[in-house]
Chains A and B, each alone.
Chain A
Amino acid sequence: MTDFNVNLRQVKNVSIIDLRGYLDAHTAPELENIFNKLLEQKKFRVVVNFNDLNYISSAGLGVFMAYIEIMRQNNGDIKFTNLKENVYNIFDLLGFPLLYEFYKDEQEAINKFITQENS
């Protein structure tokens, strides 16, 4: 279950976090480190790509909850893309889609950031 990987890349002024494997209480600190790094660099526009993520636990969800507020306060956001059905169901059950933006595709989320910026 500890098979987890997180990767950070930059597309224009949007930071993309790629998640892979299982995100649970043991692996959540790795993701937290990435978010802390982004805050340090004052990068508040974040897209999280769930393409290779197989499982997320409540501790994993907690990471996003902890950071989304501060991102939004700084005119940024965390947007979620490419979720597998079972992972999306977990978010959906909790009602996350009522609060956060979910997209099928990473590019969609990036475009959304860009249009937000222009408007």
Chain B
Amino acid sequence: MKFSDIKLAHKLENSILISILLIVYNLVFPVRSTLVLFLINEFLVFGVLYFLFNYMNIFVESKKEFPLSLILKVGVLSAVMFFISSFMNSFLRNNQQENFQTNIFNSLISILMNYVFIVVVIYILSTFRILFFLRQTKDRSTYFNTMIIFFCLTFFSDFSRINLSLDYAHDAFYVVSIVLICLNSLKVSWIAFLTKRQKTYLLFISIVLSVLFMVNYSLISESNSLRTSLNSFSSGFYSVYSLVMIYGIIYFGIIFFTTLFHLPTAEAFDRKSEEVSSLIDLTNLITQVFDFKELADSVTSITTKVCNSYAAWLVTKKGNDYELNSVKNIAYVDADKIVKNVIQNEKLLDNVYILNYDELKKDFNINSIDFRSIAIAPLKVHGEVKGFLFAARKHDVNFDEEEKRSIQAFAYYAAVALENAKLIAESIEKERLEKELDVARDIQRRILPNKIPSSQQLEISALFIPAFEVGGDYYDFFELDENKLGFVVADVSGKGITAAFIMAEIKGIFESLSKIFLKPSELLTNVNNVLKNSLDKKSFVTAVYGVIDKQNGILNFVRAGHPPVIYCSQNKVVRLLPSGLGLGLDYSLNYFQTLKEEQIQLKKGDIIVVYSDGIPEAKNANYEDFGYERFEKIIQRNCNKTLDEISNEIIKELTIFSKDNTQHDDITLVLFRWK
């Protein structure tokens, strides 16, 4: 049980307890002849009023979001009051002859009636309290509390009747209470927030209620048996009762007139609040919906609401063209037709443009469409037009300035939302591509050899630097037999995952064929034949494949479209460029003839450099190539160092040269030295 529940339960207990006390007391002392008895009764009544009011406030508070239903309940209760009053009146009149207060049955009925009166009055009063505080921007509780205090004062000043000379105090409090009632009744700002339908309803109900309260008031203000009964029950309560009735009359009277004056603007107010809620909807969509199509659909559907239009559609710029993204209440073809006819108009670019029927017909040759006017709002992001939002009406009322402004505002929000969705889609796509690149890099890393073979006669160094986008470089070594070492450096055209897959395939082909075809030119011819089935027309592979005999130092190699092999012997550097067509360029039988195999007898200290075009084609800030000469000079200068040192020198100079430009391609550098 929560604390508030305990409090609530206590309040209920208290009010029940004191109510029972009051009823029992009244049964015991139906006629209060002495002052003490009278005072005790008054205090008991006040206690019931107090505790009930406290309990009722919590009860009514929970329904404050529905002022109309509260008012309706007040209406029902006051109608009940009316019936009870009328019934009491006739009931009491009939029993007037007898001394009804001594009759136990009669007095019980009378007490219960009075008690019902108390409950109803308290309910109505707490409803008034809730309505008073509804939609107040400032804390005005003092006003209401002062009024309640004066109600109490009026209640207690009734004792003064005992001494007639104090009667003026009661009247004074009574009048002040009425003045305060008038003031408090003016706080009806909550009416403005009702919709038009609710206002019409309220207008009707308030006049009925005002009249009902008037009738109820007149029923007790006449000197009749009801008044006598109430007065004899508790004169203080009688005053409060009449005050609440007066409150009802004044309050509902004021509500009636206020609503009446609000009614003409009700529609505008409704529209504004609809716009606001649509914008809120849209703002929610911006943060929740990232799917472009879904968002576009929501925008068009909200547009019809905001602009009070029949149809709406939306186009966004795609290249130089416009693409229809979403339509609402119009066929794609029709919307497309209007867009195509209208979109070139430059008037559209700045502001919301309204096309009326004559213009549609005359200037744009759109005949078959039954729209009377079309509002076209540019979707601008950072001052750039990214598309257009169309809203079309079938009825004759043209879009007014106010509506133009709201369409503009809406288009602005929609543009931001759509742009947002687009950017998110792009970044997702980018992420996907990056993932793909990760996969490609991973493939490449697995394909390249993790161990470089070495022997007494041959020193080997291999280095690979991947580009951000996988470039498709591949190198490998094959132990063909005890003495023969095969090697390949290849470069697949294209980048990314496609290149990585071809690399993987090339590796497989070389692995399997290198042991079958020991002659390099034969091997490459067969590799070319196999590639025929897997390479697309646009792709090709360049490669250098060679076999070194570790026994006698004879190197045989072929070049298939690959950059030249650099040969450094006794401080002299030569480029070896035997003819040879790239793999995948031609699948005819001639391929074998294009390959010229080169044979070199390696001498002690000779260096062979095989690499990919990432080195000579590395570019500086001015897009100049690193070139072969620089490359060769570094080799020449450092030819006495270890291969790893030479390799480092080359990369160092390459890095300095291209420091202002990104690395576009993979770099592969394989060096051999005959010892």
Contact = CB atoms under 8 A, between A and B. Distances in A.
A38 interface: no
A95 B540 CA distance: 12
A69 B564 CA distance: 28
Contacts of B594: 95, 98
A71 to B, nearest CB: 12
A27 to B, nearest CB: 14
B537 A94 contact: no
A58 interface: yes
B581 A65 contact: no
B494 A94 contact: no
B539 A94 contact: no
Contacts of A62: 493-494, 537-540
A62 B536 CA distance: 10
Contacts of B586: 98-99
B585 A96 contact: yes
Contacts of A59: 493-494, 538
Interface string A15-26: 000000000010
A90 to B, nearest CB: 9
Q: Size class of B's contact patch?
A: 20 to 34
A63 B585 contact: no
A58 B493 contact: yes
A93 B561 contact: yes
Nearest to B593: A98
Contact of B581 (A25, A55, A66, A98): A98
Given A62-B539, A66-B537, A95 B581 contact: yes
Which of A65, A95, A98 neighbours the largest number of chain B CB atoms within 10 Å of its CB? A95
Interface residues of A, number: 18
A86 B626 CA distance: 13
B497 to A, nearest CB: 14
A94 B563 contact: no
What's the dominant secondary structure at chain A's contact region? Answer: helix
B253 interface: no
Interface string B493-510: 111000000000000000
Contacts of A65: 537-538, 540, 585
Given A86-B625, A99-B585, A94 B538 contact: no
B316 interface: no
B561 A95 contact: yes
Given A98-B581, A99-B581, A93 B493 contact: no
Contact of B495 (A25, A94, A98, A99): A25
A95 B563 CA distance: 11
B224 to A, nearest CB: 99
B579 interface: yes
Contact of B493 (A1, A61, A69, A98): A61
Nearest to A63: B538
Nearest to B594: A98
Given A59-B494, A95-B594, A98-B594, A69 B537 contact: yes
A93 B582 CA distance: 8
B406 to A, nearest CB: 42
Q: Which of B582, B586, B623, B625 has the most CB of A within 10 A?
A: B582
A95 B580 contact: yes
Interface in B506-560: 536-540, 542, 560
Contacts of B495: 25
Nearest to A100: B585
Contacts of A63: 538
Q: Which of B540, B564, B594 has most A Cβ within 10 Å?
A: B540
Nearest to A64: B538
Contacts of B562: 93
Interface in B232-267: none
Interface in A55-95: 55, 58-59, 61-63, 65-66, 69, 86, 93-95
A68 to B, nearest CB: 9
Contacts of A58: 493-494, 540
Contacts of B540: 58, 61-62, 65, 94
Contact of A94 (B536, B564, B582): B582
Contacts of A99: 581, 585-586
Nearest to B588: A99
B625 A93 contact: no
A86 B594 CA distance: 22
A95 B560 CA distance: 8
Contact of A95 (B494, B538, B564, B582): B582
B588 to A, nearest CB: 9
A95 B562 CA distance: 9
B360 to A, nearest CB: 36
Contact of B563 (A25, A55, A61, A93): A93
B581 A94 contact: yes
A86 B628 CA distance: 12
Given A62-B538, A65-B540, A95 B493 contact: no
A92 to B, nearest CB: 9
Contacts of A69: 537
Contacts of B582: 94-95
B585 A95 contact: yes
B162 to A, nearest CB: 103
Interface string B555-598: 00000111110000000000000011110011000000010000
A81 B536 CA distance: 26
A60 to B, nearest CB: 10
Nearest to B579: A95
Contacts of A66: 536-538
Nearest to B542: A94
B470 to A, nearest CB: 13
Interface string B589-630: 000001000000000000000000000000000010100000
Contacts of A98: 579, 581, 586, 594
A58 B584 CA distance: 13
Nearest to B563: A93
B561 A94 contact: yes
Contacts of B564: 93
Contacts of A25: 495
Nearest to A24: B664
Interface string A37-60: 000000000000000000100110
A53 to B, nearest CB: 13
Interface in B455-507: 493-495
B625 A94 contact: no
B255 to A, nearest CB: 70
Interface in B289-318: none
A99 B581 CA distance: 9
Interface of A: 1, 25, 55, 58-59, 61-63, 65-66, 69, 86, 93-96, 98-99
6 contacts: A55-B623, A61-B540, A65-B537, A94-B540, A94-B585, A98-B586
Given A65-B538, A98-B581, 13 more contacts: A62-B494, A62-B537, A62-B538, A63-B538, A66-B536, A86-B625, A93-B542, A93-B563, A94-B542, A94-B582, A95-B581, A99-B581, A99-B586
List 7 tightest A-B contacts by C-beta distance, closest first. A62-B538, A95-B581, A58-B493, A94-B561, A66-B537, A94-B582, A66-B538
